Structure 1
Amino acid sequence: MSTPTKKRLTTSAMIASFADPGQPTSSAPFGHALAALAEQDQRIVGLTADLGKYTDMHVFAEAHPDRFFQMGMAEQLLFGAAAGMAEVGLVPFASTYSVFAARRAYDFLCLDIAEPNLNVNIIGGLPGLTTGYGPSHQATEDIAIFRGMPNLTIVDPCDSVDIEQAVPQLAAADGPTYLRLLRGKVPTVLDEYDYEFRLGKASVLRGGNDVVFVSSGLMTMRALQAAQDLAEHGVDVSVVHSPTIKPFDAETVLRETRGDRLVVTLENHTVVGGLFETLAAEMAKVGEQQRVVPIALPDRFLDAGALPTLHERYGLARGSIVSKVLAELA
């Protein structure tokens, strides 16, 4: 008699995906990675603020119900409870939407978690423009809010590979972390580039003589796509992926940006306070004076609508990147 195969849990059908048609994806990579890690480490616990199925935490909840805590719609309580668990030696992963973590529960994260440097891992759904629900749900400024918080590590993963490899490293890291979660059907991109996620490190995914893309998050996927398109125009593009925004791997990135190539940053975040300003500050520190062109969200509240339409409108789409670079080189 054959043993029935356990069905891999997926995510809610209500969650929009930014994956291209026909692109390989992995369903709920964060939830599955956390559940797998918990099999090996009994200290791992999961908490959420009434958003289990919408942050892929429901996968962990089903696999480890005795280590899952539903805190209800109370983000400050979520972080306070996670801090208490970390104080007694557990390793909490606490999930909510990025807007609620950054805007609503900032003080609890700062004073309960970051100031005592506790190993609490904040999982923030809907970072940047990954939802069409408008300003109440679009965390376009979360990195800007969190970059000034001492002790907090900020990770902006590109795809399912980044997320799956990041989870155990976040658990092992000293101090608190904030992961900009890509949820639902997440593209699988970096497996084609001999890539390995290393917390705090950037990676050169491809070399190029004309343009240097420095990117994070889902914009690394778009950077790689745009680099392929630009090659058809005779433009040779290097792509540097920086999944850790803080601490920033200035050594690797600045080694690639030196010279006379056009430097372009690509991020799923407002142009204020994110990757663009991080890189510009590091270049200023060492006296690099070349211009950096930002591809980022504008410094304003964004519209609601369908994700493909919004990515076109705000310049995050593949074709928009190609057009901007060609205009800069003209």
Structure 2
Amino acid sequence: MSEVKKIATRDSYGNALVELGREHENLVVLDADLAAATKTVVFKKAYPERFIDCGIAEANMTGVAAGLSTCGKVPFISSFAMFVAGRAFEQIRNSIGYPHLNVKIGATHAGITVGEDGATHQCNEDIALMRTIPGMVVISPADDVEARVAVKAAYKYEGPVYLRFGRLALPVIHNESDYTFEIGKGEILREGKDLTIVATGAMVSNSLEAAKKLKEDGIEAKVINIHTIKPLDEGLIVKAAKETGKIVTVEEHSVIGGLGSAVCDALAVKAPTQVLKIGINDTFGESGPAVELLKKYGLDADNIYAKIKSFVK
């Protein structure tokens, strides 16, 4: 059996920008002195006249992008999630969100899989922050195929979009030839009757692996990929809750304010359901290999399987 292809979604981001740049001359890319890491360097090489390195000045970069968007440009600002969502939050809120400008935010190195860079760089709060900004679309793609299509969908969308990418190479679970992406619409990856796993980003492939293990125990888990956390596909989640009776959310993000919170908000109003939230439990990360950190914080397939099995019983 051939090995599953793995690609980091930050690479997908850079490649998608180059493809878009070829088709749209109004696309500009801004970075905060991290182009090699965010992979916007590939756009810089292809279209240097449309690339602006703002230096280690994320707040200023945000303001520059806001100005460019009022002149007919479609700017993508890029940095680590911790710095663009965290350090530049006020500028994103007031300079992009409040006037509802057409700026896209490419946040790479999200979650604990930043690895050895440690807690200061491991942003597990960015989804919560971006969800609170009125009118902000929040997207967390699961693999290379979805990430590239999501970047293109963000370009077409009129308004601010937050795109969350990771450093760790992820299994490619979609077929490019037949995959359709729509902002605000979730995707059923596996059918099941005993419970529903609602996952996003890097946790989608691990959740699929956990579902396979559960099947061996006679537990049939439906798996839903929620690539768009805001606006949330409430209809799909409510339907799944009514059909299976239990919901498990899985995210490489704090259990406070992220996917799990968004799902609980929807279910509390439309279909009160027992929910288990799997994520980072109100703690900071630490330095270490990404795969080992996922194990320690209970986000690898084996831990997800064990937690769900206990929850079902």
TM over 0.5: yes
Give ranges in structure 1 of 5+ residues lacking alignment. Answer: 1-20
Q: Which residue of 2 aligns with 1:12?
A: none
Is 1:113 the counterpart of 2:96? The answer is: yes
Q: 2:58 aligns with which of 75, 84, 98?
A: 75
Q: 1:234 aligns with which of 192, 215, 218?
A: 218
The aligned runs of 1:171-186 (5 Å cut-off) are 171-183=155-167, 185-186=169-170
Preserved contact between residue 159 and residue 182 of structure 1 (Cα < 8 Å): no
For this pair of structures, how many residues does the alignment match?
309
Q: 1:88 aligns with which of 71, 84, 98?
A: 71
Q: Which residue of 1 aligns with 2:262?
A: 278
Preserved contact between residue 270 and residue 298 of structure 1 (Cα < 8 Å): yes
Looking at structure 2, the residues matched to 26 and 104 of structure 1 have their Cα atoms a distance apart, in angstroms, of 28
| Aligned amino acid, residue 243 of structure 1 | H
The aligned runs of 1:49-60 (5 Å cut-off) are 49-60=32-43
Q: Which residue of 2 aligns with 1:223?
A: 207
| Aligned amino acid, residue 303 of structure 2 | S
Q: 1:142 aligns with which of 116, 121, 126?
A: 126
Is 1:256 the counterpart of 2:237? The answer is: no
The aligned runs of 1:284-303 (5 Å cut-off) are 284-286=268-270, 288-303=271-286
Q: 2:148 aligns with which of 137, 143, 164?
A: 164
Q: Which residue of 2 aligns with 1:11?
A: none
Is 1:152 the counterpart of 2:100? The answer is: no
Shift of 1:260: 4.5
Shift of 1:89: 0.5
C-alpha offsets along residues 10-63 of structure 1, whole Å, 9 cap, x if unaligned? xxxxxxxxxxx9430246111111101111111111110001011110111111
| Aligned amino acid, residue 180 of structure 1 | R
* Identical columns (%): 35
| Aligned amino acid, residue 112 of structure 2 | L
Structure having the larger proportion of residues in helix:
2
Q: 2:13 aligns with which of 26, 30, 41?
A: 30
C-alpha offsets along residues 89-119 of structure 1, whole Å, 9 cap, x if unaligned? 0001110011111221111111111111111
Q: Which residue of 2 aligns with 1:13?
A: none
Looking at structure 2, the residues matched to 171 and 260 of structure 1 have their Cα atoms a distance apart, in angstroms, of 36
Shift of 1:261: 3.3
| Aligned amino acid, residue 125 of structure 2 | E
Give the TM-score taking structure 1 as reference length.
0.90
Shift of 1:187: 3.0
Return 260-269 or 58-67, whichever deviates more: 260-269
Looking at structure 1, the residues matched to 33 and 171 of structure 2 have their Cα atoms a distance apart, in angstroms, of 25
User: Root-mean-square deviation (CA), in Å?
Assistant: 1.7
Looking at structure 2, the residues matched to 271 and 186 of structure 1 have their Cα atoms a distance apart, in angstroms, of 22
Looking at structure 2, the residues matched to 226 and 194 of structure 1 have their Cα atoms a distance apart, in angstroms, of 25
Q: 1:124 aligns with which of 97, 104, 107?
A: 107
